[in-house]
């Protein structure tokens, strides 16, 4: 079993690296952001409850995301998972421990994607996502072959509504408010591995693979 958490600021590249790791290890990429956006798209009750928090760059209340993850993990039939964007606060980490304990599982490693603020802003402002398959591009760092069109499925690329400057700033502030206790929690558990996420996508991926191999997790 391989169970990982990817931790880091918005725009650190968690989604990009999670997709790469997920393919390599054939374990699912579980992103609370993607799950919530799916609910928004369906206009479900849960989506309606989450909408204004997401548009403002605030955290969706714990009871909603904790329940969502609990259900997703209970239905996981694969040999592990990669959590991206969860937990985001110490309270969520505690809820996750409880959920995993109930099914005699535990997290193997927490990869912390350390990233500078200017880099985060540049990455988020230039991000484009496929409406159809969720593939992630960047207008400069990872452009699609044809502008506005996904390389994988020819779906339409769009800019997330929370990737606007003012919302990005708020998301960073929310992140900074919550991150210290979370880092302490996983440092105390001896699970935290720090990654320099300022580097290129390929360099970050290489570093992640080396670090996981060193810990016999590959
Ligand atoms: P979520 O979707 O999780 O957003 P986030 O954490 O802000 O993270 P991002 O998806 O913005 O960034 P990322 O690190 O995945 O970067 P990416 O790989 O795309 O959450 C959205 C909202 O949902 C939250 O604000 C909140 O409201 C709610 N929510 C979600 N989870 C919650 C929870 N647990 N509790 C409460 N609320 C929750 O990369 C970014 C860009 O950079 C891309 O364009 C990419 O191509 C480019 N890039 C990536 N890596 C590199 C690199 N190394 N070099 C150059 N460019 C790169």
In sequence order, what DSSP letters do the residues of 139-169 get, joined into one string? TTTB--SBTTB-TTT-PBEE--TT-SHHHHH
Q: Using CA atoms, how far apart are residues 217 and 106, in angstroms rounded to an integer?
A: 14
Closest C-alpha to ligand 1, atom 56:
141
Percent of the chain predicted with pLDDT > 90: 96
Q: Using CA atoms, how far apart are residues 212 and 39, in angstroms rounded to an integer?
A: 33
- The rounded mean pLDDT for the chain is 96
Answer whether 200 contacts ligand 1 (Cβ < 6 A): yes
At 196 the pLDDT is: 97
Q: Using CA atoms, how far apart are residues 181 and 187, in angstroms rounded to an integer?
A: 10
At 22 the pLDDT is: 96
3-state SS, 10-64, equals CCCCHHHHHHHHHHHHCCCEEEHHHHHHHHHHHCCHHHHHHHHHHHHCCCCCHHH
Return phi, psi of residue 131, to 5°.
Answer: -65, -30
At 146 the pLDDT is: 97
- The answer, yes or no, to whether residue 185 has pLDDT greater than 90, is yes
- The answer, yes or no, to whether residue 218 has pLDDT greater than 90, is no
Q: Residues 139, 126: contact at Cβ < 8 Å? A: yes
Q: Residues 134, 34: contact at Cβ < 8 Å? A: yes
At 1 the pLDDT is: 78
Distance 195 CA to ligand 1 centre (A): 16
pLDDT tens digits along 107-133: 999 999 999 999 999 999 999 999 999
Q: Could you confirm whether 72 is annotated as catalytic?
A: no
Residue 195, helix vs strand vs coil: strand
- The answer, yes or no, to whether residue 45 has pLDDT greater than 90, is yes
Answer whether 32 contacts ligand 1 (Cβ < 6 A): yes
Residue 76, helix vs strand vs coil: coil
Q: Could you confirm whether 14 is annotated as catalytic?
A: yes
- The answer, yes or no, to whether residue 97 has pLDDT greater than 90, is yes
203, two tokens: 């360099």
Mean pLDDT calculated for residue range 142-171: 96
Half-sphere exposure of 13 (CA within 13 A, CB side): 28
Of 85, 126, 171, 202, best ligand 1 pocket probe by most atoms within 8 Å of the beta carbon: 85
Annotated catalytic residue: which of 3, 37, 123, 127? 127
Q: Residues 138, 111: contact at Cβ < 8 Å? A: no
């Amino acid at each position: 079993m391989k169970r990982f958490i990817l931790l880091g600021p918005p725009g650190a590249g968690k989604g990009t690296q999670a997709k790469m790791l997920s393919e390599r290890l054939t374990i699912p990429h579980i992103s609370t952001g993607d799950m919530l956006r799916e609910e928004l798209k369906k206009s479900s009750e849960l989506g309606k409850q989450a909408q204004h928090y997401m548009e403002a760059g605030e955290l969706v209340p714990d009871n909603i995301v904790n329940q969502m993850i609990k259900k997703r993990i209970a239905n996981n039939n694969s040999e592990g998972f990669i959590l991206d964007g969860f937990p985001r606060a110490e309270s969520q980490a505690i809820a996750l421990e409880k959920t995993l304990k109930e099914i005699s599982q535990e997290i193997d490693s927490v990869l912390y994607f350390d990233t500078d603020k200017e880099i985060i802003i540049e990455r988020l402002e230039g991000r484009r996502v496929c409406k159809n398959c969720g593939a992630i591009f960047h207008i400069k760092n990872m452009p699609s072959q044809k502008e506005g069109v996904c390389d994988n499925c020819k779906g339409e690329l769009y800019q997330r509504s929370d990737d606007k400057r003012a919302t990005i700033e708020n998301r960073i502030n929310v992140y900074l408010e919550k991150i210290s206790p979370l880092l302490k929690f996983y440092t105390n558990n001896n699970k935290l591995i720090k990654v320099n996420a300022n580097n290129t996508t390929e360099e970050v991926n290489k570093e992640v693979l080396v670090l996981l191999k060193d810990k016999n997790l590959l």
